Amino acid sequence: MSTKLPIQMPPGRRPLDLNSLKSFLLDNMVTAMFVVICLVGWSLSGLSAPFVVNDLISRLARNSLLVLALLIPVMAGMGLNFAITLGAMSAQFAVITVTHFKVGGIPGFLLAVVLSTPIAIFIGILVGKLLNKTRGQEMITSMITGFFASGVYMLILLVLVGTLIPLKNPDLLLGSGVGIKNTVDLIAISGSMDNIYKISVPIAGLVAGLALLLLNTWRFLRPHAPSAKNRLLVYAGGGLLLAAVSAITLFSGSLMNNVKIPVITFGIIALGCLFIDFISRTKLGQDFKTVGQDQHVARVSGINVDKTRILAITISTVMAAWGQLMLLQNMGNLSTYDSHTAVGTFAIAALLIGGASVTKATVGQALVGLVLFHTLFMVSPFAGKNLLGDAQLGEFFRSFVAYGIIAVSLVMHAWKRSRDIKKKLQE
Amino acid sequence: MPMLKQMYTNLGVARAIIIGFLLTLVVLAAVYDLDLAELASSSLVRTGMNGVLVLAMLPGIVSGIGPNFGLPLGVICGLLGSLLSIEFDLTGFPALVVSMLASIPLAVATGAIYGWLLNRVKGSEMMIATYVGFSVVSLMNLGWTLLPFRSPEMKWPIGRGLRVTISLAERYEKVLDKLWAFEIGGLRVPTGLLLAFAVACLAIWLFLRSKTGLAMKAVGDSKQFALASGLNVDKNRMLGTILSTVLGAIGIVVFHQSYGFIQIYEAPMWMGFTAVAAILIGGATVRKANITHVILGCFLFQSLLVISLPVANRIINVGGVAEVARIIVSNGIILYALTQVGGAD
């Protein structure tokens, strides 16, 4: 039961009538397949809906911004930005600093945002320049850059802190006085965004459902209504259904009423979605798309290709830094040398499961992918345990899915590209 | 001076830094009065241990698929061969040979499928190889748990699946290392191990001078030229991939006999990166490589790893410094090589 916001629907998709249902399913085969896998996994896991929704909300709060950070580089034709791990590392530097100076709560979180942003901008520019030198191999470069940066990050936090960097704080440092501890407790900023204001899931569903209903009815009744009128009716109906189900749940005494949604966190995520949507409509967004389509054409039409690409990566890195801050405040502790490592792979796998490709990714795909990937991630150990008597098997399966989906998407993209090149040569 | 300058240009910035770093480490090791002969012995063993795995990079680069980040595929074939030899309860040299022989057909088949795939994704081989490798390693995690091996040496005493590390002490631990090994002035030379590496290098060197090998090289050098002279590009690339995969399989058997344990599950995941970094340090690029790059690169990289650990421990009492150096050096050299490819737009 995910709350469906209107922005979730990418603009320009054909109306959802029965005739086009078949082609819709064909176009979204990957996503459809994962919907089935998730449902089967969930039923095998035997987990209750309130449990799944509760965990899912927390996982979405953590990971959404990180996935959104991937969208702009895709728009600019730079593929999947594996280097968002560098944004995550900038956030971790900031969080350690904030923890050292014991600035807590919302001021602490905001200070971390302020500190991480310039680091992320600086790193973003460097990565952008590097990717301009390795045109055509952006993804492998961004991935190796992530590994390399991880080494530099370890060098700074494990070796330089306490030796060259005069930091004396027994709460942060290892016993020897050199290097940051493996786990840093982030008590000060833990939950600082999540805990500001929470409402229960049925209430949130009711509000979102009613908003969806009213918004789409209004758009339907407008004199200058868009051509896809049927689609608006479907959305409005969906909103009504959501509101009705929520209302019933609200008065049924179901455990779902105990599941809370952190409103501010999801508000920030919604802002992130709107930001991406907004960018894609501006001149800058057009530039990104032109550069992504064909760099020669972009150059001829007067766009500074290199600068545009650097800007795309910089925005992505900054968003990733903020995303990692959201993740860390939700987790409440930092695995100093681990928290950032899987960020790239997981975010990319989630985006691809939502139906995105190396060259096209929308906000809607990001959100759908997040829900599916994290549902799968949550239920697979339980499903593995119930089906084969071994939770470990479920864990192996989910990491195979994460890597496998990336491999398959990369292959499909490269295959199509080499076929296109061949066709061009034959003409 | 002009000669020095020429040498510097040939080496490239990254390589010059790494060699400078290694020399500094050697000087520091001498200053800190570390046992240099002991370090040299370890370097030799590590070079022989990793040699064939690094050699596996050569056919890939030469045939035009680039450095084979998908090495874990070959490694997994080698692991299956090794496990079979234990399942059949073999020991000593027969076990080693059977491990290799059993893994070769598997590696040929895997390499053929993998080569077919790489032929369809020209231009994106490195990225796809990496993720195909990751996927297969994680798929094989399920495999190691479910495959019907029965030997109690390999299985967890309770529960399901194979152990994470399987001891070779009773099997073929160090059979190559100990073969004709001798010691002069504290320096132990693992003759058999180095010989095995040398034989593999010689075989590949000869192959690259054969008619088939020359055709493969021509395809890797220039697709246009190869097409013009009537060579089948896809077939030769596939040959390179198969060779690379087979060498990966044999390489891991050699590696484990020296290491003394078979490591499965996540262990093969990063082996591709180490091998790629080694051949690049030796002077190869993602387009050009030869046997000298393999031997030199393997020796330089492994010596660096061997020496950095004790030196780092003397300078600073922090764990993990050598690991940090390894991550920075290996990924740094790969990044440098990527920037040298030039824009392909």
Q: What is the 8-class DSSP label of residue A253?
A: T
Q: What is the mean pLDDT of residues A81-99?
A: 94
**ipTM rounded to 2 decimals:** 0.90
Average pLDDT, chain A: 87
pLDDT digits (tens, 9 = 90+) for A104-150: 889 999 999 999 999 999 999 999 999 999 988 899 999 999 999 99
State the Cα–Cα distance between residues A342 and A147, nearest whole angstrom. Answer: 11
More confident residue, A29 or A8: A29
The chain A residue lying nearest B139, using CA atoms, is: A400
Are A154 and B331 a contacting pair at CB < 8 A? Answer: no
The chain B residue lying nearest A296, using CA atoms, is: B345
Proportion of chain A in helix, strand, coil states, percent, rounded to 5: 70, 5, 25
The chain B residue lying nearest A293, using CA atoms, is: B345
Write the single-letter amino acid at B315. I
Are A407 and B134 a contacting pair at CB < 8 A? Answer: yes
Show which of residues 131-190 on chain A sit within 8 Å of chain B, judged by CB atoms.
Answer: 132-137, 139-141, 143-145, 147-148, 150-152, 154-155, 158-159, 163, 174, 176, 178-179
With contact defined as beta carbons under 8 Å apart, do B156 and B164 qualify? no
Q: Which residues contact A303 (CB under 8 A, 6 or more apart)?
A: A287, A290, A291
> Per-residue confidence at B345, pLDDT binned at 50, 70, 90?
very low
With contact defined as beta carbons under 8 Å apart, do B257 and B245 qualify? no
pLDDT digits (tens, 9 = 90+) for B96-112: 999 999 999 999 999 99
Chain B residues with CB-CB distance to A178 below 8 A? 316-318
Please state, for a pLDDT cut of 70, what percent of chain B lies above it.
97
The alpha-carbon gap from B222 to the nearest alpha carbon of chain A, in Å, equals 17
State the Cα–Cα distance between residues A52 and A61, nearest whole angstrom. Answer: 14
Q: What does the pLDDT read at residue B226? A: 83
Please state, for a pLDDT cut of 90, what percent of chain B lies above it.
61
Which element (helix H / strand E) includes A408?
helix A391-426
pLDDT digits (tens, 9 = 90+) for B231-281: 889 999 999 999 999 999 999 999 999 999 999 999 999 999 999 999 999
* SS3 state of residue B112: helix
CA–CA distance from A240 to each of A206, A214, A236, A244, B20 (Å)? 9, 9, 6, 6, 70
Residues paired with residue A183 on neighbouring β-strands, in sequence order:
A335
Among A138, A140, A338, the residue to mutate for chain B (most B Cβ within 10 A): A140
Q: What does the pLDDT read at residue A388? A: 80
Are A134 and B123 a contacting pair at CB < 8 A? Answer: no
Q: What does the pLDDT read at residue A5? A: 42
Structure tokens belonging to residue A24 = 């819709």
With contact defined as beta carbons under 8 Å apart, do B85 and B101 qualify? no
State the Cα–Cα distance between residues A51 and A277, nearest whole angstrom. Answer: 32
> Per-residue confidence at B343, pLDDT binned at 50, 70, 90?
very low
* DSSP conformation letters of B203-231: HHHHHHHSHHHHHHHHHHH-HHHHHHTT-
Tell whether the model's pLDDT for residue A15 goes beyond 70: no
Are B324 and A404 a contacting pair at CB < 8 A? Answer: no
Q: What is the mean pLDDT of residues A43-61?
A: 91
Among A82, A148, A380, the residue to mutate for chain B (most B Cβ within 10 A): A148
Are B138 and A396 a contacting pair at CB < 8 A? Answer: yes
Q: What does the pLDDT read at residue A225? A: 58
Are A130 and B345 a contacting pair at CB < 8 A? Answer: no
Owner of token pair 């501890």: A181
Are B128 and A411 a contacting pair at CB < 8 A? Answer: yes
Tell whether the model's pLDDT for residue A165 goes beyond 50: yes
CA–CA distance from B173 to each of B54, B149, B177, B255, B345 (Å)? 21, 21, 9, 10, 50
CA A328 to chain centre: 14
pLDDT digits (tens, 9 = 90+) for A30-47: 888 889 989 999 998 888
CB neighbours of residue A354 within 10 Å = 25
* SS3 state of residue B251: helix
The alpha-carbon gap from A179 to the nearest alpha carbon of chain B, in Å, equals 8
With contact defined as beta carbons under 8 Å apart, do B177 and B258 qualify? yes
Q: Measure the CA dihedral A229/A233/A239/A245, to 10°.
A: -160
Of A10-14, B58-62, B250-254, B324-328, give the lowest mean pLDDT range.
Answer: A10-14
Are A159 and B324 a contacting pair at CB < 8 A? Answer: yes
Are A140 and B130 a contacting pair at CB < 8 A? Answer: yes
Chain B residues with CB-CB distance to A130 below 8 A? 335, 339
Q: What is the mean pLDDT of residues A321-325?
A: 96
Q: What does the pLDDT read at residue A17? A: 58
Tell whether the model's pLDDT for residue B342 goes beyond 90: no
Structure tokens belonging to residue A110 = 């905001």
Q: Is A403 on the interface with B (CB under 8 A)?
A: yes
Q: What's the burial of A186, exposed, middle or buried (CB within 10 Å: 0-12/13-18/19+)?
A: buried
Q: What is the 8-class DSSP label of residue B167?
A: E
Q: Which residues contact A41 (CB under 8 A, 6 or more apart)?
A: A375, A376, A379, A380, A383
Instruction: Count CA within 13 A, CB hemisphere, residue A253.
Output: 0
Tell whether the model's pLDDT for residue B330 goes beyond 80: yes
State the Cα–Cα distance between residues B128 and A407, nearest whole angstrom. Answer: 6
Nearest CB neighbour to B338, from listed A140, A176, A413: A140
With contact defined as beta carbons under 8 Å apart, do B96 and B176 qualify? yes
Q: What does the pLDDT read at residue A7? A: 43
* DSSP conformation letters of B17-60: HHHHHHHHHHHHHHHTT--HHHHHHHHHHHHHHHHHHHHTHHHH
Q: Is B122 on the interface with A (CB under 8 A)?
A: yes
Residues paired with residue B183 on neighbouring β-strands, in sequence order:
B188
Q: What does the pLDDT read at residue B344? A: 42
Q: What does the pLDDT read at residue A111? A: 94
State the Cα–Cα distance between residues B150 and A168, nearest whole angstrom. Answer: 54
> Per-residue confidence at A6, pLDDT binned at 50, 70, 90?
very low
Instruction: Count CA within 13 A, CB hemisphere, residue B131.
Output: 26
* Closest-CA residue to A280 (of A13, A72, A107, A25): A72
Of A8-12, A162-166, B213-217, give the lowest mean pLDDT range.
Answer: A8-12
Write the single-letter amino acid at B28. L
Q: What does the pLDDT read at residue A19? A: 62
Q: Is B9 on the interface with A (CB under 8 A)?
A: no
The chain B residue lying nearest A291, using CA atoms, is: B345
* Closest-CA residue to B253 (of B131, B171, B331, B178): B171
Q: What does the pLDDT read at residue A2? A: 41
Q: Is B318 on the interface with A (CB under 8 A)?
A: yes
Q: What is the 8-class DSSP label of residue A10?
A: P
Proportion of chain B in helix, strand, coil states, percent, rounded to 5: 75, 5, 25
Average pLDDT, chain B: 90
Tell whether the model's pLDDT for residue A16 goes beyond 80: no
Alpha helices by DSSP H, listed for A222-342, are 229-252, 263-281, 283-293, 295-300, 305-331
* Closest-CA residue to B245 (of B62, B89, B112): B112
Q: Is B332 on the interface with A (CB under 8 A)?
A: yes
Q: What does the pLDDT read at residue A4? A: 40
Q: What does the pLDDT read at residue A229? A: 73
Alpha helices by DSSP H, listed for A46-159, are 49-68, 71-75, 84-100, 105-133, 138-154
State the Cα–Cα distance between residues A170 and A180, nearest whole angstrom. Answer: 10
The chain B residue lying nearest A80, using CA atoms, is: B127
pLDDT digits (tens, 9 = 90+) for B143-190: 998 888 888 888 888 778 889 999 988 888 888 888 888 888 888 899
State the Cα–Cα distance between residues B342 and B345, nearest whole angstrom. Answer: 9
State the Cα–Cα distance between residues B18 and B281, nearest whole angstrom. Answer: 8
Are A400 and B317 a contacting pair at CB < 8 A? Answer: no
Are B142 and A417 a contacting pair at CB < 8 A? Answer: no
* Long-range own/partner contacts, residues A245-251 (CB < 8 A, 24 or more apart): A245/A1, A245/A205, A245/A209, A246/A201, A246/A202, A246/A203, A246/A204, A246/A205, A246/A206, A246/A209, A247/A202, A247/A206, A249/A201, A249/A202, A249/A205, A250/A200, A250/A202, A250/A203, A250/A206
CA–CA distance from A218 to each of A215, A223, B128 (Å)? 5, 10, 48
Nearest CB neighbour to B145, from listed A393, A402, A403: A393
State the Cα–Cα distance between residues B65 and A144, nearest whole angstrom. Answer: 18
Tell whether the model's pLDDT for residue A346 goes beyond 60: yes
The alpha-carbon gap from B333 to the nearest alpha carbon of chain A, in Å, equals 10
Q: What does the pLDDT read at residue B244? A: 96
* Closest-CA residue to B31 (of B315, B241, B325): B315
Are A154 and B145 a contacting pair at CB < 8 A? Answer: no
State the Cα–Cα distance between residues B257 and B52, nearest whole angstrom. Answer: 13
